[in-house]
Chain A
């Protein structure tokens, strides 16, 4: 990466039209043409037409280099209209995309923007590699995010299908509905698991956060005998594969539950919840330990000494001085513990009974038997929740870094 603010500016020479911009845009146009022609069974004819159109756009961009925005909009509209005439609204949208990409590509080449981020001395080969590299990275980012989009889109399907209907692709109103959301919010089949998740996760989080914070403070003292061993034990729930934790817990909690029911006369449902909550709390512990010890690294110990000096007892010092400062770490550890429990399915599958069916469990059985796209509505709601959680954690992390005097991101 090069610095652009190094005191002088370099004017990038405009590349030649016929030897560079025109053939390259024609190649891209041919690719689009090949794909579009393939729909009609004429890929090579399509490629030829595409190449001609691409060359035309390159020439146009070269001529109209001053009115970049207007020209691009013109091209996009032209493609949209052509697409609409050829195959309705869905094709029109494809046309918009193709038009936008082609016109952007033509201008990107013609104005010399493709060299903007590389040093002036780069050879054409290096520039090509640089841009290919950016393209690869873009592809990986696409790979990371794209799978989530069809899920959200399909959750508004009017039919009970896991796949797109022609109405959906043509953006007709009758192809869309909120019925899967109504199914999600209106039936016990989904509301009971949601309620269970919302009972289990907060309790599990509370246990792991309260015990975990205390232990993290203990671990961050300067003299802890067997610190490594203790740390290894506390982190182990995160390391051991879930299926093994679930197997072990299955063997251990089933007799424990029977014993509790028989000897303390507890309700079966209550014991079921206790088992799942304890199991999930154990799974959440490592996340709390890791985030809170990390926050304590930057904690200034002289503050507690100062507080003690002024007459505060250890409890007051903890709640009035230490806690407010490490709170961001505690909260983000808590969020990790919450999402661990809220998202957990293997352990609850083995340890819980049907009464403790959680949302992921319901989704899991639904996916195995493929019952209805209500799963997709549930998934969309969960994605929304995770976006909210992610934002919270990011904000907290920045606040914590600011408080610790590290550079704000």
Chain B
């Protein structure tokens, strides 16, 4: 158990900057090196080269750790405030809803529902609307099913108008080839509108996260896209999705209902079809004439018909509150608050679990740390004061559990603590415990505390031991010879000198225990679990990753603060491993 300290403290040999100082202090002319350059210059060149060499040696590992470890941690931190799924899935709705004043009216007006229709139509084609539903369901229960049902029934909106349009002429508005030619402005359109296609790509890229590069076999005509901008945009989105995500030929697929609805809306709004004379001008004019007699598609009404939830002001307030790409919602949730419409408010009583869980984690970690000190201090003392040969043999008893797999030790405690386990069996056999009233040692806080104290005890003993090893036993004898009683000598002389060891061991044990996952998961039941078990639950079961990231961030901050204290007390370089 040697003293292992900072790698730089062993420098007794002269270093290049000693020379620099000598050169500085020299009042005469410049001292020259052997090759005639001034010594100062030559030395600083050497120093620079040495620094470069050291950095070059460190660089591969530093880059490796940055990429495989630091970047993932930072990405987790970002995820805890990330809310881009809302503006990415509902870009038009988000920009329109900003103009809505939730205090003035319960429900937003038609334009918001209209934007929601176009956003959701594309999202449901790309099967992204359920993800948004799941996301918003964390903030308001019931939104998940609301989004799913609306995704199913979106194509029924404006059915009458679409039927009327398709009945107008045979093989026209229900013909995929006609649509294709119409939108590219005829077979050999001279002017094309690349811009609308790029916007469609960007829209899908934001929605799905895929690259959406590659050929579509479709170029929108400039004239038609100037005449019917929304139709062109919707058709371009349809074309990009069909060609790239579904790998079909655009000309052979009938466009979505949303494209037809866009056309109907724009024709009814009085698009200047009369002055257009490209491909399909006749059909467009006929359609506009016919549609003049048709009612306009009503989105608000249709949405309310699909699911009453869209008439609930709370739904819209939630959407309004969570429209921005970044949110503090997850952090507030992690502290049992929520982002209400009127600002931050406490969660309902029955949903407040995280503060309790954090407090329990801290409280149980403190108990574990305390029991480790109680058990570890005498052992460290005896190891430090016994003759070296005996101490080394006893040290094996500390190091063996330290080296044994965590799973092995946890399974050992499961074997010991369960109701049919070794401890209960022995107590029943000896008659101290009735067979019917076996002790419940596992699946509660007791089990977690016992097992984790055992598992973390070596982390307390080893730093304590290395500190106590440095306290000369003669101090204690001197105190006694000066008349101190045993208790006084220990309390006034020995104990103060061992406090750094207690500090180091405690912080180490505390840091380790507040992040523990495996042992509480197996022996902790429901009362003995830590915050980390909740994080794991959100990652693998509830899939609320944002909340998991927020909880993880809070835990990380706590650990880093403790680590900073550890560094102040002990120094990172003094971390010792098994000896």
Contact = CB atoms under 8 A, between A and B. Distances in A.
Interface of A: 1, 35, 38-41, 43, 126, 129, 133-134, 136-137, 140-141, 143-145, 147-148, 150-151, 154, 161-164, 207, 211-212, 214-225, 227, 230-253, 278-279, 281-282, 285, 287, 289-291, 293-294, 296-298, 301-302, 336, 339, 342-343, 345-346, 350, 360, 363-364, 367-368, 375-376, 379, 382-383, 386-387, 389-390, 393-394, 397, 401, 404, 406, 409
Contacts of A134: 382
Contacts of B226: none
Nearest to B4: A294
Contacts of A237: 65, 69
Given A144-B457, A360-B407, A163 B401 contact: no
A230 B69 CA distance: 14
What bracket does the count of chain B residues touching chain A fall in?
Answer: 35 or more
Interface of B: 1-2, 4-11, 13, 15-17, 47, 50-51, 53-58, 60-62, 64-66, 68-76, 79, 375-376, 378-379, 382, 385-388, 392, 394, 396-401, 403-416, 418, 420-422, 425, 429-432, 454, 457-458, 473, 486, 511-512, 514-518, 521-522, 532, 535-536, 539-540, 545, 548-549, 552, 555-556, 559-560, 563, 572-573, 575-579
A148 B55 contact: no
B515 A150 contact: no
Give 9 closest A-B pairs by Cβ, nearest first.
A241-B515, A218-B57, A252-B72, A215-B61, A248-B72, A248-B76, A243-B532, A218-B58, A221-B54
Main secondary structure of the interface of A (DSSP, over half): helix
Contacts of B556: 240-241, 244
B453 to A, nearest CB: 9
Given A222-B8, A223-B47, A234-B61, A35 B563 contact: no
Contacts of A217: 57
Contact of B64 (A147, A281, A393): A281
A243 B15 contact: no
Contacts of B55: 218, 224-225
Contact of A144 (B58, B420, B454): B454
Contacts, number: 316
Nearest to A37: B431
Contact of B532 (A38, A239, A241, A379): A241
A144 B398 contact: yes
A372 to B, nearest CB: 12
Contacts of B396: 390, 394
B563 A239 contact: yes
Given A239-B563, A247-B535, A363 B75 contact: no
Contact of B416 (A150, A285, A339, A393): A150
Contacts of A215: 57-58, 60-62
B61 A162 contact: no
A119 to B, nearest CB: 10
Given A1-B386, A241-B555, A233 B70 contact: yes
B407 A151 contact: no
B522 A368 contact: yes
Given A164-B425, A221-B50, A401-B2, A339 B403 contact: yes
A361 to B, nearest CB: 9
Contacts of A291: 577
Contact of B413 (A147, A246, A376, A382): A147
Given A223-B15, A231-B572, A148 B407 contact: no
